[in-house]
Amino acid sequence: MVRFRNITIGTKAAFVAAAAVVAATSPLNATGLSALTRDSGNSLVRIGEGPKTLAPFASVVFCMQHRDQCANTGGPSIMVLDKKRKSQLISVNNSINHTIRPVNDKPGADVWSMDVTAGDCEDFALTKRKKLMQLGWSSESLKIAVAITNNGEGHAVLIAKTSEGDLVLDNRFNVIKDWRKTDLRWVMAQTGDNPKYWAKVKANVEEPQLVSAREGVSETAEINQSDADGEQQPNITVTFAHFQ
């Protein structure tokens, strides 16, 4: 049993049942990019960056051990989601979801790691971020975020900031969804300009789009490659500390 501040985080078994229900009643077991979210077709709605907040302690330790992964390496804060980038997102998300075996950290020992054979949600997210950066994605366009699921589970995911919205790579599912179309209640995320620091998630931020950027994009557009079952989400421990 793990706790996220005053919110109890349940067991892995609860997630298995929940994932089974979702997979049976929705298209989340498909592989690819789900419907993109826009307001009246004229703007993207991005996840907002609020005031700075305490970083998860395990992320502080991770950044001390992997400074290259917590540095701003330059490049665009928003990646153009062309055919090549879409393929990279889908490939990396699917590959890591099936390569890492979901296993919880031992009680009281929350460790954030990459390139593991077994790990919990933040290990999936960190590994995906590293792989995408190796493929040319900028550090500013890739954020680790912490949220709460409808089941009260603490959960970490990777958010890719793209020209078609802020997309969530979640180890529970192979589908990649717009951040507003998940079952998550957002708590905080890495800041855009410095991955060592974190900020609270605030209200939606609308970003006007040029007509040329909207051509061919539909609110119900979906890109699928194959069918796959949703992956369960192991528990996480979230402890807070200032990064020095």
pLDDT tens digits for 28-53?
345 677 655 454 455 788 999 999 99
pLDDT in the model for residue 193: 87
pLDDT in the model for residue 74: 87
Q: Are 188 and 59 in contact (CB under 8 A)?
A: no
pLDDT in the model for residue 217: 32
Q: What is the rounded CA–CA span in Å between residue 190 and residue 168?
A: 14
State pTM to two decimals: 0.72
Residues in the chain with pLDDT < 50? Answer: 1-29, 37, 39-40, 208-244
CA dihedral (173, 175, 176, 182) positive or negative: negative
**Rounded to 5 degrees, what are φ and ψ at 68?**
-65, -30
Q: Are 36 and 164 in contact (CB under 8 A)?
A: yes
pLDDT in the model for residue 38: 52
25 lies in which domain range?
Answer: 2-241
Cα Rg for the chain, rounded, in angstroms?
Answer: 17
Which residues pair with residue 23 across a beta bridge?
none
Q: Which two tokens stand for residue 117?
A: 């054979």
- Our count of domains for the chain comes to 1
Burial 84-103 (b: 16+ CB within 10 A, else e): ebbebbbebbbebbeebebe
pLDDT in the model for residue 109: 78
